[in-house]
A and B are shown apart, each in its own frame.
Chain A
Amino acid sequence: MEQTTSVYQRISLILLILFLTFFTARDIWAKTNHSKVICRVETDRSVLPAGPSQDIILKITLDAPSAPMHIKRPPVNLSLVLDQSGSMNGTKIEQAKAAAIEALTRLGIQDIFSVVVYDSNVNTIVPAQNAANIQGIIRTISQIRAGGSTALFGGVSQGALEIRKYIENDYVHRIVLLSDGIANVGPRMPEDLGRLGAALIKEGISVSTVGVGTDYNEDLMARLAQKSDGNTYFVESGFDLPRIFAGELGDVLNVVAKKVKVIITLPDNIQAVDIIGREGRVKGRRVELFMNQLYGDQEKYALIKVKVPQSKAGSKMLVARADVSYENPFTQKNETSSGRSWALFSGDSKKVAESINVEVVKEYQLNLNALAQERAIELSDKGKKKEAVKELKQSAAVLKKIGSRYNDKELLKEADALEVQAEQIEDQGMSKKSRKILRTRSYQQKYQQQAQ
């Protein structure tokens, strides 16, 4: 009898060891085989015309992998900073509350959640805590009432304070700021909020901004998001808020790379001319760019204009090498990836024309278009409506021409939308709505920041 019991015990022990070994091995396998960020370096033409020196466009693309299924995603430390000033009264505040609850319900118990509301004063109504006591938090959110001024800076500062309570841990830190009005308490210049964003990103905190209606300051919201590497959104009515919050949270819950740094090294005979759209630094033959975070399956890229030297037909040249370093939030380890681009030189113009990389040309044109939109805003702000319209129309014409040449629907669609926008501005002047659309779209284009 005792022997039988002993046999059963042994079998159970073996099964348990096998079971544990299987899961440990699966975790180790998952962690070690987790896909890396892929770095691709492309030029606008793979075959360049032989002859004198020329400018070409380099596109450095980072393809983020999907979030691994078998590893727990990195926890999120989310702070919602909601405007409860008088102008939010009605649908906006109700939808903002619904959006906040929507965001909360998407979090897991390992995540941290806080809610700060601001009018002329700032109050933390849900201090940073695990998103476990959902019903209690929902009750608190439901009690938000609108009224007062707009202390936006104070609101973001308070949100950051809540985030900092868990700053040491390996969370994905994110503030989502919602506002529908002009900040009238605290620093309110776009530069000031940009500086706040630049300081917050040094702590790993990104701020995504959601502007509701047509009365908020889109420059301020875009600058804050840009400097802290967050997303920026414009929603005309409160009804879109839950959707936007859900999309934003989709991004935050899907971070696959943090502290992304790209270094592009050029050969001695190639010179960097310009960085298109993004901010970066050119140190001799090195170009440095920071992209902060990558979301699962997202493609982020940088465009650099470089000058290649005089070349002979048939020669081959290394154009650039890109090294990407980032922190993998799933393993908390630093990872690297790299890519290179070579160019062939040919005297055959047909070969050169056939080697066009439409994707690179398209993204380059779209980025130029984003810059044109920003110039149009500046011109319009200075009262130069005609020049602003001209700028937009010229950009639309270029987009249309290139779109037709390569039969690219996206470019043609963008050109049509821009033409409509330009005509509206020509007829009615730069409306608040047009300005917000232009600012938000140009930002999203330049930084590829848009909820998936």
Chain B
Amino acid sequence: MTNKRSIIIFWALFLVPTLIVAAVAFRLLSHEQDRLHRSAQAALTQQAKTLSETIHLTIEDVQQNLTLSLLALEQKQIKSRLVQWEHTNPLVRNVFIYTKEQGLEYPLDGMASTKEERLFAVRYDALFSGRTSFDFNREGRQEISRTGTGLKKEIRADSYGSIEDDIEKSSRKTLVALSRVRQKPLAESLDAIQADQQVVKFKEKSGWIPWFNENRLYILGWVQKKENDPVYGVELELMTLLSRLVADFPKLEGKNAALVMMDGSGMFMHQSGALNVDSGQSPLAAVAVSNLLPHWRMAVFVDSKSFSGAKGFLYLSVILLGILICAIISGGVMLTRMALQNQKDARKKISFVSSVSHELKTPLTSIRMYAELLSSGRVKDTDKSRSYLSVIVDESHRLTRLINNVLDFGRLEQGKKKYHPTRFELDRFLKHMIEAHTIRIEKQGMEIKIQISKGDFAVRTDKDALEQVVLNLLDNALKYAGDGKFIQFVLEKEGPFTSLKICDNGPGIPKEQREKIFEKFHRVDDSLGANQPGSGLGLSIARQILQDLGGDLFFEPMPGNGSCFTARIQNYETH
């Protein structure tokens, strides 16, 4: 009762703090997970912003370079240069020259222009017919700085992070290079213009128009050097711009997030990240790409179920926490088991000491009593004296066996038991043993049955140790199956082993006890007032000896009732 309470208290003290620590740790980990989740989302959004900014800056650079290149064209060369750009520069979709008086000078009307050029003229009809002024979108106009180097260099390169560095190397650089289309002599003339600029203020106009036609975006750049000069310019090839930019989108790892660039109608222009995004799905965050690409957005999509740059963190942490708790609980279980085992062992040892004391006392009492009777000289009858002496001898043998068992147990436990194997015939050995104990068996009123199959039963083992095994088994049979009708000795070969079976038709051993009987100190009836005396060591010692000698000892129930112990001994040839 006390033990049970101790165990309950132990477990209460042990489990409650463990569970509290586990709960707190789990809560903290969940919070940490949420924080990581939010920071991963914020990082994605930031990535979208940075990417948008890069795209904006790239387009801005491209446009400014093109504007400067347009402005640098000499009046006589405008048309030829523009046509050349149209044919050779992937950034230029169409070119045009427009005057107020004559309208569109280039592209020409009719078959002199391609279908694309005719569509271009139709697309910007409002501008080319004079209905709309080129600088209607004042806010879209760029103030071109013509001081300094003239051409914009990638001066912003240092202002953004690693993705941008990559883009810097490739698409941004090549795009800006494409937009820098002026020839060397023209650059020189620009320098001359810049020099003049110190004195005369330039009256040029320029601008970029994001133009929507049939819900599609087009971008037109124009310049006009002086008030009555022609307006000329280029239409940007948006697909070239897009094609170059998308090739350098950052690669997103994992399948639960995507960066998507969308146009004004929500159509996906490019996606980075393997997440399967439906067109109707609303993004986690979206930022405007650039005012130069009106209504275009950079959207961040995540799969809220599985996304978290660090969902693995929670899983890993929970697994580690689980392992820790399992380790603690396993430790507790082990400790409890050990404590219970120790308790059990202690109980068995106490019972053993009591049993051994009792066992030693019984023959000693008999010896002492008969010895005293004989020494008093009151027994005159010779037969009686002989009988008393016989009892003394028997009891002494019993005492010797008991002491031998205790001594053997000690040696076996310490591993100090020494064996001296010799070759002998097991059948002869068995017959000799039976002969020596026939009187004891018959005294019990039991019939001896011997069943030795034909063949050679030579074994190489320790004869004395085996004798002790047989004696222990025989003692067991006489003790517990004394009311049985027979005791049977069977000797037969089983492969590399010889089986020596000692069977009886006594009461047998209950099923749940059949393996426990081989445990040390174990007795089926463990009480002091048990019917039969014993130390609970006989079978344990017998099995240990046989195992040490390369064999084993098993129990099998006899058909009907009774027990059968099989000692398996290695054959001589097996050695």
Q: Is A148 an interface residue (CB 8 A)?
A: yes
Q: Is the CB of B274 within 8 A of A156?
A: no
Q: Is A281 an interface residue (CB 8 A)?
A: yes
Complex Cα distance A193/B238, Å? 11
Q: Is A364 an interface residue (CB 8 A)?
A: no
Contacts of A151 in B (CB 8 A): 270-271
Contacts of B239 in A (CB 8 A): 187, 192-193, 195-196, 199
Q: Is the CB of B246 within 8 A of A157?
A: yes
Q: Is B361 an interface residue (CB 8 A)?
A: no
Q: Is B530 an interface residue (CB 8 A)?
A: no
| Contact residues, A254-299 vs B (CB, 8 A) | 272, 274-275, 279-284
Closest to A151 in B: B271
Complex Cα distance A186/B240, Å? 13
Q: Report B260 CB to chain A, min CB distance, Å.
A: 8
Q: Report B574 CB to chain A, min CB distance, Å.
A: 57
Q: Is A352 an interface residue (CB 8 A)?
A: no
Known: A186-B270, A281-B114. A199 touches B276 (CB 8 A): no
Q: Is the CB of A202 within 8 A of B246?
A: no
Q: Is B180 an interface residue (CB 8 A)?
A: no
Known: A148-B276, A185-B270, A186-B268. A283 touches B112 (CB 8 A): yes
Known: A187-B269, A202-B87. A154 touches B246 (CB 8 A): yes
Interface set of A (CB-CB < 8 Å, partner B): 119-122, 148-149, 151, 153-154, 156-158, 160-161, 164, 184-188, 192-193, 195-196, 198-200, 202-203, 272, 274-275, 279-284
Complex Cα distance A187/B275, Å? 19
1/0 per residue B107-136: CB within 8 Å of A? 010111111100000000000000000000
Known: A199-B240, A279-B114, A281-B111. A149 touches B246 (CB 8 A): no
Contacts of B270 in A (CB 8 A): 151, 153-154, 185-186
Q: Is B273 an interface residue (CB 8 A)?
A: yes
Q: Report B359 CB to chain A, min CB distance, Å.
A: 79
Closest to B244 in A: A157
Q: Is the CB of B240 within 8 A of A196?
A: yes
Q: Report A229 CB to chain B, min CB distance, Å.
A: 14
Complex Cα distance A157/B268, Å? 15
Q: Is the CB of B90 within 8 A of A202?
A: yes
Q: Is the CB of B112 within 8 A of A186?
A: no
1/0 per residue B270-295: CB within 8 Å of A? 11111111000000000000000000
Contacts of B111 in A (CB 8 A): 272, 274-275, 281-282
Known: A154-B246, A161-B170. A195 touches B93 (CB 8 A): yes
Q: Is B475 an interface residue (CB 8 A)?
A: no
Q: Give the contacting residue for A149; candidates B243, B247, B276; CB below 8 A.
A: B276
Complex Cα distance A16/B93, Å? 57
Closest to A203 in B: B90
Closest to A197 in B: B239
Closest to B241 in A: A199
> Total interface residues on B, using CB and 8 Å?
38
Q: Is the CB of A121 within 8 A of B274?
A: yes
The A interface is mostly helix, strand or loop, or mixed, namely mixed
Contacts of A195 in B (CB 8 A): 93, 237-240
Q: Is the CB of A281 within 8 A of B113?
A: yes
Interface set of B (CB-CB < 8 Å, partner A): 87-91, 93, 108, 110-116, 170, 174, 237-240, 242-244, 246-247, 251, 258, 267-277
Complex Cα distance A280/B88, Å? 16
Contacts of B271 in A (CB 8 A): 120-121, 149, 151, 154, 185-186
Q: Report B211 CB to chain A, min CB distance, Å.
A: 15
Complex Cα distance A279/B240, Å? 21
Q: Report A261 CB to chain B, min CB distance, Å.
A: 10
Complex Cα distance A199/B113, Å? 18
Known A186-B246, A196-B243; further 16 A-B contacts with Cβ < 8 A: A121-B272, A121-B273, A151-B270, A157-B242, A157-B247, A161-B247, A184-B268, A185-B268, A187-B242, A188-B267, A195-B93, A195-B239, A195-B240, A198-B93, A199-B91, A284-B112
Contacts of A199 in B (CB 8 A): 90-91, 93, 237, 239-240, 243
The B interface is mostly helix, strand or loop, or mixed, namely mixed
Closest 6 CB pairs of A and B: A282-B111, A199-B90, A157-B243, A199-B240, A195-B239, A161-B247
Complex Cα distance A323/B315, Å? 74
Complex Cα distance A228/B251, Å? 28
Complex Cα distance A195/B276, Å? 27
Closest to A147 in B: B274
5 residue pairs from A and B, CB less than 8 Å apart: A192-B239, A199-B90, A199-B237, A203-B90, A275-B111
Contacts of B246 in A (CB 8 A): 153-154, 157, 186
Q: Is the CB of B243 within 8 A of A156?
A: yes
Contacts of A284 in B (CB 8 A): 112
Contacts of A153 in B (CB 8 A): 242-243, 246, 269-270
Complex Cα distance A157/B245, Å? 9
Complex Cα distance A111/B270, Å? 31
Complex Cα distance A192/B273, Å? 23
Contacts of B251 in A (CB 8 A): 121
Q: Is the CB of B112 within 8 A of A282?
A: yes
Closest to B93 in A: A195
Complex Cα distance A120/B88, Å? 32
Contacts of B258 in A (CB 8 A): 120
Closest to A196 in B: B239
Contacts of A158 in B (CB 8 A): 247
Q: Report B274 CB to chain A, min CB distance, Å.
A: 6
Q: Give the contacting residue for B89; candidates A120, A202, A279; CB below 8 A.
A: A202
Contacts of A185 in B (CB 8 A): 268, 270-271
Closest to A159 in B: B247
Q: Report B79 CB to chain A, min CB distance, Å.
A: 13
Q: Report B546 CB to chain A, min CB distance, Å.
A: 62
Complex Cα distance A186/B247, Å? 12
Q: Report B457 CB to chain A, min CB distance, Å.
A: 68
Q: Report B131 CB to chain A, min CB distance, Å.
A: 25
Closest to A123 in B: B251
Complex Cα distance A199/B243, Å? 10
Closest to B240 in A: A199
Complex Cα distance A197/B272, Å? 23
Contacts of B113 in A (CB 8 A): 281
Q: Report B7 CB to chain A, min CB distance, Å.
A: 57
